[in-house]
Amino acid sequence: MNLNHVFVCGNPALDFAATLRARRSTRFEMFATPDRLDAWYLESGIVDTVLPGDESDVEQATIVREAIYELVTARRLGEEFDEEALDVLNEAARRAPATPQLTPSGRRTEATPEQALSTVARHAVELLSGPDVPLMKECGNPECTRVYIDRSRGMRRQWCGMDSCGNKIKAAAYRARKRTAPAAAAH
């Protein structure tokens, strides 16, 4: 069941933080129901199966997501970490993570919602303490608030993804140029 979750950020913790879309304007919540949270865990590849979550799992995931976003923003801007956000993230990371198992058909990871959330929190800890910190950038689309890892040559990537934001911005710029082109050029 694909619910239009997008994974363009280059790290599961950043994709998780991006599930509250357009934070500065319309704010669209991707975790509106437990099913949508469960779907995110599956679509992200963090787990292969997850026990069905409930409203309390959504509430906890939302709290951890906001802590991750706050910490990522602070790190990206070179600011101090908020102690409360640190406590929330570290508490989630201390819980048992999803543990992969080897089966006759290969690797399989089954988890509870709490284990899946702990796994996301651990990704955030690794990201925020690791070598990719200088590569974190916010999408150039003013409506988008996704932070992504820019691994492009010369760190010249401007958008979280071409499909999600880049094409929209380029098309809007093209339309604006066409509108403002001198009428004489049309003759």
Structural domains of the chain, with CATH: 12-186 (1.10.3300.10)
pLDDT band of residue 172 (cuts 50, 70, 90) is low
pLDDT of residue 142: 84
* pLDDT tier for residue 180 given thresholds of 50, 70 and 90: confident
Question: Taking the model in full, what pTM does it have?
Answer: 0.86
Check residue 1 and give its pLDDT: 41
> What is the side-by-side order of every strand in the sheet holding 49-50?
49-50, 106-111, 99-103
Query: Could you give the C-alpha distances from 172 to 161, 164, 176, 181, in angstroms and in order?
Result: 16, 13, 6, 14
pLDDT tens digits, 36-82: 999 999 999 999 999 999 999 999 999 999 999 999 999 999 999 99
Over residues 10-41, the pLDDT tens digits come to 999 999 999 998 888 888 899 999 999 999 99
- 132, two tokens: 């990719």
